[in-house]
Amino acid sequence: MIQLKHLKTGLAAAVASLALLGAPAKAADFYAGKQLVFLIGGDAGGGYDLYARAISRHMNRFIPGNPVFVPRNQPGAGSGTAAAYLASVAPKDGTMIGAVFPGVIIGPLLEEKQQGLFDPTKFIYLGSADSGTRVCITYENSKIKTFEQAQTNKVIIGASAAGGSTRDYAYLHQNAAGGNFNVVSGYKGTVDIFLAMERGEVDGMCGLDWSSLKSQRPSWVAEKKINILVQNGLESEAELDKMGVPTLWKFIKKDEDKRAVEMVFSQQIFGRPYLAPPGTSAEQVKILRDAFMKTVKDAEFQADAEKNRLDVTPSSGERVQSVVEKLYATPKETIKRAKEIISPPA
């Protein structure tokens, strides 16, 4: 009996060991020799593109089988086009992941035309590379130097299409904080708005990530070619505080507006979100989530990010998933007001 018991124990241990050895081998077999498409819902050269490409240069090292990452831009509708593709057409086997604007994740709560295209709570979040502050700026040739001036003088603000942060935040500043804005929407992305600012077509833009500004136009910051009117975030940014940039909270008077703005700003917790299509298997999700977190903590990646002036304040996929679920449990009256403040005035 004793020998039989020892035999059973030994067999159980052997089976457990084989299972542990088999798991990575299976993952390696799956990804070996494959391409993993990184679908980027923004234009080439924009902030989201820079972050996604930096991650794609390193993430394959942390995936068994080392698949080849292939970045592919699919801009449109504030990255809604990419999100809709991921939700309905993209393969669900772990061979495609997406980089989308956070506005697309919160969009179906706030934009009726986005409802039904995809359900953000169904996406599988792999993590976020940054959670940061956004700013409202004017160019050096603008007469508007402060937000107080923007409340009393007409300001021409360049913006993307509906659903993009530059459009939503422009109207938010107008409706919740009294910005005297003439919003000119329809620009493809921040790169085009930057050019419009240089040409004098517009005074500036709002809803721009502070990290994107520093990476895309570092000389503008260093040479003080811009006026930073106000900073947007649940909490203030220490670097901007030192520069004397006020928070938007200073200019919002109504409590109902503060609650609505807080809801909109909560998307900045997942400032650079990465996700897998709904239905991706738990095994592939774990591999991708683990690889993402190892990437953003990796010394080589961090050196690459620093070289390209990319701020990295990562959040795990589990945390992003939780924040999205809480967003979609927001009281209806707060959602209603949030819809109003990111829309053109009636």
In angstroms, the CA 164 to CA 179 distance is 19
pLDDT at 29: 81
**CA quadruple 296, 264, 276, 81: dihedral sign:** negative
Q: Which helix (H) or strand (E) holds 128?
A: strand 124-128
pLDDT at 4: 40
In angstroms, the CA 186 to CA 202 distance is 13
Strand 96-99: give its sheet, edge to edge: 68-73, 35-40, 96-99, 273-276, 124-128, 315-316
Q: Which residues contact 93 (CB under 8 A, 6 or more apart)?
A: 280, 281, 284
Strand 226-232: give its sheet, edge to edge: 181-184, 155-158, 204-209, 134-139, 226-232
Candidate CATH numbers 3.40.50.410, 3.40.50.620, 3.30.1600.10, 3.40.190.10; the one for domain 134-267: 3.40.190.10
pLDDT at 27: 57
One fold for both 10-131+272-340 and 134-267? yes
pLDDT at 78: 84
Q: What fold does the segment set 10-131+272-340 form as a domain?
A: D-Maltodextrin-Binding Protein; domain 2 (3.40.190)
Task: Give 289-332 pLDDT, tens digit per residue.
Answer: 999 999 999 999 999 999 998 989 999 999 999 999 999 999 99
pLDDT at 291: 98
Provide the CB-side half-sphere exposure for 15 (13 A, CA): 6
pLDDT at 115: 62
What's the whole-model pTM score?
0.75
pLDDT at 15: 40
Regions of the chain short of the pLDDT cut 70: 1-28, 113-115, 163
Q: Which residues contact 258 (CB under 8 A, 6 or more apart)?
A: 249, 252
Query: Per-domain residue ranges for the chain?
Result: 10-131+272-340, 134-267
Closest CA to 161 of 126, 187, 199: 187
